[in-house]
Structure 1
Amino acid sequence: MKLALAGLTLALTAAFAPAFAEVPDLGGREVTVVTENAYPPLQFLDKAGKPIGWEYDAMDAIAKKLNITVKYENTSWDAMIPAVAEGQYDMGMTGITIKEDRKEKVDFSEPYMRSEMLMIVRGDEARFTDAASFAANPELLVSAQPGTSPFYAAIYNILDGNEENPRVIKFETFGAGLEALKTGDVDLTLSDSTAANGYVAASNGGLKIIGEPLASEDFGFIFPKGSDLVAPMNAAIAELKADGTFEALNKKWFLDYKMGE
Structure 2
Amino acid sequence: MAFRRSFLLGLSALVLAPFASFAADLPNLSGKTVVVVTENAYPPLQFIDPKTSKAIGWEYDAMNEIAKRLNFKVEYQNTSWDAMIQAVSEGQYNIGMTGITIKDERKQKVDFSDPYMRSEQFMLVRGDEKRFTDAKSFAALKEGLIGAQPGTTPFYTAVYSVLDGNEQNPRIKTFETFGATVQALKTGDVDMVLTDGTAGKGYVDASNGGLKLIGGPLGSEDFGFIFQKGSDLVAPVNAAIASLKADGTLEALNKKWFLDYKMGQ
Query: TM-score normalised to the size of structure 2?
Result: 0.94
Structure 2 unaligned segments of length 5 or more: list them.
Answer: none
- Is it true that 1:23 corresponds to 2:26 in the alignment? yes
Deviation at 1:6, TM superposition (A): 6.8
SS at match of 1:157: helix
Per-residue CA shift, 1:122-154, capped at 9, x if unaligned? Answer: 000011010000001111000000000000000
With over 3 angstroms needed to count, the CA separation of the structure-2 counterparts of 1:10 and 1:157, relative to structure 1, is closer
Show the counterpart of 1:125.
Answer: 129
**Which residue matches 2:54?**
50
> What residue in structure 2 maps to residue 61 of structure 1?
65
- 3-state SS of the aligned residue for 2:87? helix
CA RMSD of aligned residues (A): 1.6
Distance 1:257 1:6, change over 3 A: farther
How far 1:7 moved relative to its partner? 1.9
Partner of 2:215: 211
CA distance in 2: counterparts of 1:81 and 1:18, whole angstroms: 32
Q: Are the counterparts in 1 of residues 11 and 198 from structure 2 also a CA contact under 8 Å?
A: no
Which residue in the other structure is 1:91 paired with? 95
Q: Which residue of 1 aligns with 2:194?
A: 190
List aligned pairs for 1:1-261, cutoff 5 A.
5=5, 7-8=7-8, 12-16=12-16, 18-20=18-20, 22-47=25-50, 48-261=52-265
Q: Please state how far the C-alpha of 1:15 moved relative to its aligned partner.
A: 2.2
Between 165-174 and 10-19, report the one with greater CA deviation: 10-19
CA distance in 2, matches of 1:67, 1:9: 34
- Between 229-238 and 169-178, report the one with greater CA deviation: 169-178
Q: How many residues align?
A: 258
Amino acid corresponding to residue 233 of structure 1 in structure 2: V
Alpha-carbon deviation of 1:217? 0.8
Rounded Cα–Cα distance in structure 1 between residues aligned with 2:248 and 2:9: 14
Deviation at 1:259, TM superposition (A): 0.8
